[in-house]
Amino acid sequence: MSGVVTTATGSLLRASHLRAAYSGDGGQVVAVDDVSIDVGKGEVLGVAGESGCGKSTLGAILSLTVRPPLFVLGGELEVDGNQLDLGPDRRPPRAWRGEVVSLLPQGAMNSLSPTVRIRDFAYDVIRAHQPGVRRPDAIERTRERLEQLDLPARVLDYYPHQLSGGMKQRVVTVVSTLLNPRLLIADEPTSALDVSSQRILIEMLREMLARDIIGGVIFITHDLPVLNTIADRIAIMYAGKIAEVGTANELINRPRHPYSGALLSSVLVPEPQMRRTRVRGIPGAPPSLAHPPAGCRFHPRCPLVMNVCREQEPPQVGDDRHHAHCWWADQHPGQPVEVTR
Ligand SMILES: Nc1ncnc2c1ncn2[C@@H]1O[C@H](COP(=O)(O)OP(=O)(O)OP(=O)(O)O)[C@@H](O)[C@H]1O
């Protein structure tokens, strides 16, 4: 792969200082601003946050699918030991897409062409990466993969409308990972599914990790209860930045950032019955990313706001395993914020 330096590393993904902006008549909107995240081998990192906080933009950067009007301003990626500098003038190596990183975009199952059978869809996907592949070989590979994951091979003969929503999403996921990408970025893969189909898809992703079909997953969603069932670690985004990252258990039970606390208060009800009930909203609305507030971007909505929050960017508090970008956390070492459940 041209332009790629290989190093030994224990982690699957290290993404550092990612920045990307949409450019338009009104100027630049920086939708992902100095975001750094890690994913371990075999791990599922959940990315959550309110609509418009930059989750899909982060997914586009990580999957190397950025297209105008979105532009990457800077950052570095290291996936499975392969390093890549990102930036406005850098073209990512073609071989990365599909093989190193693969995106399961939002609404993927509904973008299947109604007149193309699943076997031809799979052939097209493989052929896009391996132009010399023979059609029967591509179809056979897909058949083997479906059977490996206990899905019926007869779906190869079906048109999309002949599949249920849950089966369509599973098939699209299988086809998106036929090249065994090291990192799968799944953008809201369960949001259109009923609870039972969500569970089956999550089990299938776990099976794909166990068989090393994929090396790790970034699971983007606005739905924290879903993350509680699949994520090993969770990153909470707010207004283009990471507010907090921690193990799923710590983040849900001992959040350190007031925004994580507010998000958990707004969508979760206590164990043992996690329900998708919205019990309390977060007052106010996220800021316009064209004109984000000074200091901490959450300060206008924060119940624990202090003067320093209005003026200075918050420091990163904590360690690699669990940290928050927050002045309150800085001044209250080790203390979780309150969650009203
Ligand atoms: N095509 C676009 N042109 C200009 N700005 C955009 C465009 N798409 C997104 N944005 C801006 O980027 C921000 C982040 O959008 P993004 O889609 O990444 O958020 P998200 O967290 O994935 O939201 P959702 O949960 O609704 O999908 C938005 O707040 C919006 O201001």
Q: What is the pLDDT of residue 47?
A: 97
pLDDT of residue 188: 94
Count of beta carbons in the 10 Å neighbourhood of residue 316: 16
pLDDT for position 276: 43
Instruction: Print pLDDT tens along the chain (341 aa).
Output: 333 443 434 699 999 999 999 998 888 999 999 999 999 999 999 999 998 999 999 999 999 999 999 999 999 999 998 899 998 877 888 888 889 999 999 888 888 999 999 999 999 999 998 999 999 999 999 999 999 999 999 999 999 999 999 999 999 999 999 999 999 999 999 988 999 999 999 999 999 999 999 999 999 998 888 898 999 999 999 999 999 999 999 999 999 999 999 998 886 444 444 444 444 567 888 899 999 999 999 999 999 999 999 999 999 999 988 999 999 999 999 999 988 87
Q: CA–CA distance from 286 to each of 51, 211, 238, 301, 315 (Å)?
A: 9, 40, 8, 8, 20
Distance from the alpha carbon of residue 64 to the mean position of ligand 1, in angstroms: 17
- Among 239, 221, 242, 241, smallest CA distance to 230 is for 221
Is the distance from the beta carbon of residue 221 to the nearest atom of ligand 1 less than 6 Å?
no
Q: What is the pLDDT of residue 221?
A: 93
Distance between CA atoms of 135 and 127, rounded to whole angstroms?
8
- Ligand 1 centroid to residue 34 C-alpha, Å: 16
> At residue 21, what is the residue type?
A
Whole-number pLDDT of residue 150: 95
For ligand 1, whether the C-beta of 66 sits within 6 Å is: no
- The secondary structure of residue 189, as a DSSP letter, is T
The residue to mutate among 29, 58, 61, having the most atoms of ligand 1 within 8 angstroms of its beta carbon, is 29
The residue among 252, 126, 119 whose CA lies nearest residue 177 is 126
How would you list the strands of the sheet with 316-318, edge to edge? 101-104, 183-187, 216-221, 44-48, 233-238, 241-247, 323-325, 316-318
3 state SS of 174 = helix
Predicted confidence at residue 97, as pLDDT, reads: 87
Cβ 292 under 6 angstroms from ligand 1: no
Question: Whose CA is closest to 174, among 220, 122, 132?
Answer: 122
CB of 222 shorter than 6 A to ligand 1: yes
